[in-house]
Amino acid sequence: MVVHKSMRLRYAATGALCTAFIFLPYLAIYHSPEAYSLLSRSAFSQHLNRIFGTSGNQLLFLDDTSNFTQEELGDLQRVLKNAAFKNRTVIITTLNQAWATPNSMVELFLESFRLGEGTRSFLDHLVIVALDQVAYDTCISIHKHCFTLKTEGVDFSGEKFFMTDDYLKMMWRRVDLLRVVLQFGYDFVFSDADIMWFRDPFPLFSMEADFEIACDKYFGDPTALTNEPNGGFVHVRANNRTIDFYKFWYKSREVYPGKHDQDVLNEIKVTSGFMDLGLKMRFLSTEFFGGFCQVSTDFGKVCTMHANCCTGLTRKLQDLRLVIEDWKRYKSMTDLEKQLQRVFWRAPRECLHSFEG
């Protein structure tokens, strides 16, 4: 069939208009000063992937999901959608029965958001992943974004002591879940529930980093692999590099049996396999993201405080209650008092001689 020149021009013009219709609104947002608050890079990538598809690993086509049922994936997708910020970022924590009992960890965790500066509204974007039925029942009674994640043949309900088999299974189940969150196209901040939130951490995250992680020990250089990371607090952007990294991290548990996710990360971060991923990794300073391993000394800068380097739920709770009390005392001071008086954390006290990361 012969197509007249004018018809070819008409088809070309129509194609150009369709392309403009798809791209221009997103390009206008993406290049605006408000881009990060309106549409993250991962969401933009996801939109293009939905239209055109990608080669290799894809954000929207979930491979390697054999550890999750279709019902779990559907529930997770719904909860993430309801909880996400406009830029498709969510805050995630995990909870089991031991940390969900009255006057236990989850109550302190949620209280810290209410007491923090500019953090109360973050509760609207927090997903609590319950690891057992009691934790889920508690979650839905106190919070609106709850997701239940169970593991066949494993009981996550009791206190999981550091480095026991159930503790390791719980840590690796978490890593696998976060990989799925990335494959759904959501950026996330993961926070252990024994981390108190006192300020908005988002302005401190780098737009250039794929994966940012807090530290047990921080030595001054955010790119130095000698920093000692702690997987209890991470900020991750959804892209193919981070999806590949989480797959690599999870698979590496087989190479380093008996080690938890944090120790395995320390092992793999210097390997050629890790380097080949091209992951832009950054370590977060303990000046802003402190913990009992290396306490943040400046109340005027601290964003989070983690009960790391501490074993035992009772010890963690006792010291975190001191942290909450000290923060309340600091908040009650006038600006002049804050300038004239040096404020110190009383914690760690019970945790002082502990050794957990």
pLDDT at 122: 98
Q: Per the domain annotation, does 241 fall within a domain?
A: yes
pLDDT at 171: 81
More reliable by pLDDT, 27 or 77: 77
Give me the residue label for tokens 């190479």. 255
> What is the average pLDDT across 19-38?
38
Q: Per the domain annotation, does 347 fall within a domain?
A: no
pLDDT at 33: 30
pLDDT at 161: 45
Q: Does residue 312 share a domain with residue 334?
A: yes
Q: Per the domain annotation, does 350 fall within a domain?
A: no
Express each pLDDT in 291-332 by its tens digit.
Answer: 999 999 999 999 999 999 999 999 999 999 999 999 999 999
Query: Rounded to whole angstroms, how far apart are CA atoms 102 and 334?
Result: 33
Express each pLDDT in 121-133 by its tens digit.
Answer: 999 999 999 998 9
pLDDT at 342: 87
Q: Does residue 212 share a domain with residue 75?
A: yes
Express each pLDDT in 150-173 by its tens digit.
Answer: 766 565 555 444 446 667 877 888
Q: Is 146 exposed, middle or buried (0-12, 13-18, 19+ CB in 10 A)?
A: buried
Across 41-55, 243-257, 269-283, 316-330, least confident range: 41-55
Q: Per the domain annotation, does 349 fall within a domain?
A: no
CB contact set of 333 (below 8 Å; sequence gap of 6+): 341, 343
Query: Rounded to whole angstroms, how far apart are CA atoms 304 and 319?
Result: 14
DSSP assignment of 88-134: SEEEEEEE-HHHHSTTSHHHHHHHHHHHSBS-GGGGGGEEEEESSHH
Mean pLDDT of the residues in the chain: 83
CATH number at residue 185: 3.90.550.10
The answer to whether residue 6 scores a pLDDT higher than 50 is no
Among 31, 61, 91, give the residue marking a domain's end.
Answer: 61
Q: Per the domain annotation, does 197 fall within a domain?
A: yes
What global pTM score does this model have? Answer: 0.81
Query: Rounded to whole angstroms, how far apart are CA atoms 356 and 351?
Result: 9
DSSP assignment of 47-80: HHHHHH--SSS-SSS--S-TTS-HHHHHHHHHHH
Q: Does residue 83 share a domain with residue 170?
A: yes
* Structural tokens at position 284: 């977060």
How many C-beta atoms surround the C-beta of residue 307 within 10 A? 30
Cα–Cα distances (Å) from 202 to 111, 183, 274, 289, 303, in that order, read 19, 22, 26, 12, 10
Q: Nearest-5° angle of CA 271, CA 166, CA 259?
A: 20
Express each pLDDT in 255-278 by its tens digit.
Answer: 998 888 889 999 999 999 999 999
Query: Rounded to whole angstroms, how far apart are CA atoms 317 and 196?
Result: 11
The answer to whether residue 65 scores a pLDDT higher than 80 is no
Across 6-10, 24-28, 176-180, least confident range: 24-28
Phi, psi of 53 (to 5 degrees): 75, 165
pLDDT-derived band at 64, boundaries 50, 70, 90: low
* Structural tokens at position 212: 């940012």
Q: Does residue 77 share a domain with residue 57?
A: no
pLDDT-derived band at 353, boundaries 50, 70, 90: confident
Q: Does residue 123 share a domain with residue 44?
A: no
Closest CA to 106 of 126, 83, 84, 79: 126
Dihedral (C-alpha) 37, 41, 44, 45: value to the nearest 10 degrees? -160
pLDDT at 299: 96
Domain that holds residue 112: 67-340
Express each pLDDT in 334-349 by its tens digit.
Answer: 999 999 998 999 999 9
Number of domains the chain contains: 2
The answer to whether residue 286 scores a pLDDT higher than 50 is yes
Q: Per the domain annotation, does 311 fall within a domain?
A: yes
pLDDT-derived band at 49, boundaries 50, 70, 90: very low
* Structural tokens at position 36: 């990060």
Express each pLDDT in 212-227 by its tens digit.
Answer: 999 999 999 999 999 9
